[in-house]
A and B are shown apart, each in its own frame.
Chain A
């Protein structure tokens, strides 16, 4: 049967099992919206700005193992979506973004709401397509989902001119697909795995460091099994939190610029490092020269060969799906005669416990002003550690990462790579859409939250009972902290003047607002907010303006050169 391009798109989404599309209509996508209107399998979520559509789809993907889908119109619809796409790209999130385009005959004529979508998005997508013939449409969408979800995941843009959505073609959705130019590796090389095991079993001071790859590769169970089998210490990157249970004694906390003392010291002083689905970025290992002053052997498991030996030369690269490789490692170590060196390990753990005893995350608990760390600790208690927590970017993000103990993967949703302020609220929407019954908290700050504040309206429309935990210190806190440390206390443009009354603002959007000014009120307020199962509650915590995030590895310094409290 002949279907229109618009019908084909909707049928493809149904075939892919897409239940939510986040988007915003416009001229170039009117036929698509018309087809969405005629069916009820694919639910459309109307955001208030295209950036939020992509962020929400991104969080939908992060909190499930599905591909997120966003739909925007041509021109400004696309340019608004770019921040969302770049955010997803930096964190390797599987997304398909359908973009409207002016009709094929108008492309290149500077038509109304025309932009070179394929050109503009090229540097921030895994791949993109411009569909020029309706008979290619179904296959292109199939490819888009396949590319987005496999290998190292990432966003894929499909640009669809308006006339293509009106033209007709025979519809057949391919069941499977093979591309000669795209064949992601799955299994790790057997020889490399053998070498890795040899190194791991010879280690005197081992360390396991894991990143977002463990979350995206759904490998947390396999990771936990390996860590416990070996009795090695484990740290997670910001993107990797929840990949290993934070309450397990093998866990040393997050590492990196604001990582714990014990994690950074162990990372610096280990003799064998197993890196899993992590990429040794600048916020994680500090100054690479300093990192290499200490000799160590590195095993690196990653699905993306280009991530291996990019910033740091490794001794044993293993390219493959992290889950498959971890399984294989565990299987072979269990089968091997003799395990790790127990004596050496005991001495290493003694050293680590000494570092842990430094209690690097301590803060003033007697303060009469609300300490932001205290709010996160209480949030953890009140939600029994079982919430989905999204965050924006800045100090609050670091405190959430340090003080909320994530025991499960896909619970901590934040922008690690691009560091996009404004993601928190749309992320919370995406998560709540994917998990309607779950508790969703958005840890944010008064600066970040204003970057996508219009989405409070979307939350009202879809009755999303998100809880916003606003750590309001009247500053762009992380900017202020750097200005205090490195720019002689000159707080250039980092003070948030003329703030709105967030309680009234929440109420204006039809939500509940609460302002909390005393430490004693923190817990009761959180309890009340989380007991309101149906309401979005905006909790405006007036926190200490001068609080800084510690430990801190200053830019250009080595991992063990932390500023401590």
Chain B
């Protein structure tokens, strides 16, 4: 099953590689991993999307907690949560496709953030499935380049992850 795990860790050199190393050493999956400092600059927050049986997920949580740099671990998928991913897509936009591409971006609540006479760069956020849907909906040949951040997640309501 797919799980989305949030980790608060010391914002120190090498902390990211400890987490990445743990996953590769123990053969756990990483679908995506994002990390950035938080409002408290001594802490980084990481969102890991992974999958595995209940036993594997239990071990992932325990092994993450065991890392000396890790302050807190929460499996967001255990309760209500929201996840968002950012995607930038460069698409060909010439002739009659130019108007169509603009329309598609609007339908998916995307924004065109860069324009040339031949292409658009569209910014899109949402759950991963929405980004997938957008890529499927537009003309495949028109896609020139995509870049995605991987999911960031947060608990719903008063579920708060803080030190």
- Contacts from A to B (Cβ < 8 Å): 118-119, 122-123, 126-127, 130, 147, 179-182, 304-306, 309-310, 313
Contact of A181 among B10, B14, B58, B63 (CB under 8 A): B10
A310 to B14, CA, bound (A): 26
Question: For residue A128, which residue of chain B has the nearest CB?
Answer: B14
Question: For residue A127, which residue of chain B has the nearest CB?
Answer: B68
A182 to B14, CA, bound (A): 17
Residue from B17, B58, B70 with most neighbouring chain A CB atoms (10 Å): B58
Dominant secondary structure of chain B at its interface with chain A = helix
12 contacting pairs across A/B (C-beta < 8 A):
A126-B68, A127-B69, A147-B68, A181-B9, A181-B71, A182-B68, A305-B62, A305-B66, A306-B59, A306-B65, A309-B58, A313-B55
Number of interface residues of B (CB under 8 A): 20
Residue from B14, B21, B68, B71 with most neighbouring chain A CB atoms (10 Å): B68
B18 and A306: CB pair below 8 A?
no
Question: For residue B68, which residue of chain A has the nearest CB?
Answer: A127
Asked whether B107 is an interface residue with its Cβ less than 8 Å from the other chain, the reply is no
B68 and A309: CB pair below 8 A?
no
Within the complex, what minimum Cβ distance (angstroms) separates B42 from chain A? 9
> Which residues of chain A come closer than 8 Å to B1, judged between CB atoms?
none
Given A123-B21, A181-B9, A181-B10, A306–B55 Cβ distance below 8 Å?
no
A309 to B69, CA, bound (A): 23
Question: For residue A309, which residue of chain B has the nearest CB?
Answer: B58
Asked whether B147 is an interface residue with its Cβ less than 8 Å from the other chain, the reply is no
A305 to B64, CA, bound (A): 11
> Which residues of chain B come closer than 8 Å to A127, judged between CB atoms?
68-69
Asked whether B25 is an interface residue with its Cβ less than 8 Å from the other chain, the reply is yes
Asked whether B141 is an interface residue with its Cβ less than 8 Å from the other chain, the reply is no
A306 to B17, CA, bound (A): 20
List 8 A-B pairs, minimum CB-CB distance, nearest first.
A306-B62, A127-B68, A181-B71, A305-B62, A182-B68, A306-B66, A123-B25, A306-B63
Q: Mark B136-160, 1 if CB is under 8 A from A, else 0.
A: 0000000000000000000000000
Dominant secondary structure of chain A at its interface with chain B = mixed
> Which residues of chain A come closer than 8 Å to B21, judged between CB atoms?
122-123
Q: Mark B56-91, 1 if CB is under 8 A from A, else 0.
A: 001100110110111100000000000000000000
Question: For residue A180, which residue of chain B has the nearest CB?
Answer: B71
Given A122-B18, A123-B25, A181–B70 Cβ distance below 8 Å?
yes
> Which residues of chain B come closer than 8 Å to A123, judged between CB atoms?
21, 25
Contact of A118 among B14, B68, B70 (CB under 8 A): B14
A181 and B66: CB pair below 8 A?
no
A306 to B61, CA, bound (A): 9
B66 and A304: CB pair below 8 A?
yes
Contact of A309 among B9, B25, B55 (CB under 8 A): B55
Question: For residue B72, which residue of chain A has the nearest CB?
Answer: A181
B163 and A305: CB pair below 8 A?
no
Asked whether B113 is an interface residue with its Cβ less than 8 Å from the other chain, the reply is no
A130 and B13: CB pair below 8 A?
yes
Within the complex, what minimum Cβ distance (angstroms) separates A182 from chain B? 5
